[in-house]
Amino acid sequence: MLGSMRYAVKTLPPNDLVDLLTRARPAEGAPPNILRVLHAIHDVCGSIDPGFIPAIAQSQGVTDADVAGVLSYYPSLNTQPAGRHRIQVCLGESCLANRCDLVVAAIRSQLGIDLDQTTSDGRFMLEPVSCVGNCAVSPSVRIDGELHGRVRPSDIAGFLDRYR
């Protein structure tokens, strides 16, 4: 549930951004929390438009550079618009040992994109992830909120068909 929320493609109307930032404003005397605000926006939009940086900075009482620094630091905060469906393929060591390279190759050849790319129709984005804690039934592929274990390259076509 949490996953599907995070991956939905939505835009944030200006008034909603103002509301969100107003709610995220630190209480009197309390410290700012940039990552918390970025999470809140990311949860709604699936990515963060760098154009929001000045407004976020103002709401937290920090500099634009502070916000840009946090935004660029964390791998799971996207600044590019998200695809409709997010495919995460695990490259952790247990998945490597169980030949996730073949799974990646199958996905790449079927979608015609590389890791960290989105298909031209916006249907799928493909991301590497370092361990989803599913090592005992690896290799692992997560599509939106759904995690698949013991994935074989031959499973991929069937998985992708279910997401339009």
Q: Which of the stretches 13-21, 49-57, 111-119, 139-147 binds another protein when contact is defined by CB under 8 A?
A: 139-147
9 binds another protein (CB under 8 A): no
d(CA 146, CA 151): 13
Q: Is 10 in the site for another protein (CB under 8 A)?
A: no
Residue 70 binds to another protein (criterion: CB under 8 A): yes
Applying CB under 8 A, which part among 8-16, 30-38, 112-120, 153-161 lies near another protein? 30-38
| Rounded distance between C-alpha atoms, residue 75 and residue 40, angstroms | 16
HEC per residue, 11-55: CCCHHHHHHHHHHHCCCCCCCCCHHHHHHHHHHHHCCCCHHHHHH
**Separation between Cα atoms, residue 157 and residue 130, nearest integer Å:** 23
Residues touching another protein, count (CB under 8 A): 45
Is 105 a binding residue for another protein by CB under 8 A? The answer is no
- Compare residues 34 and 82 and give the one whose CB is closer to another protein: 34
The distance of closest approach from Cβ of residue 138 to another protein in the complex, given in angstroms and rounded to an integer, is 6
Please choose, out of 10-18, 62-70, 104-112, 155-163, the segment that lies near another protein by the rule CB under 8 A: 62-70
CB contact set of 74 (below 8 Å; sequence gap of 6+): 35, 38
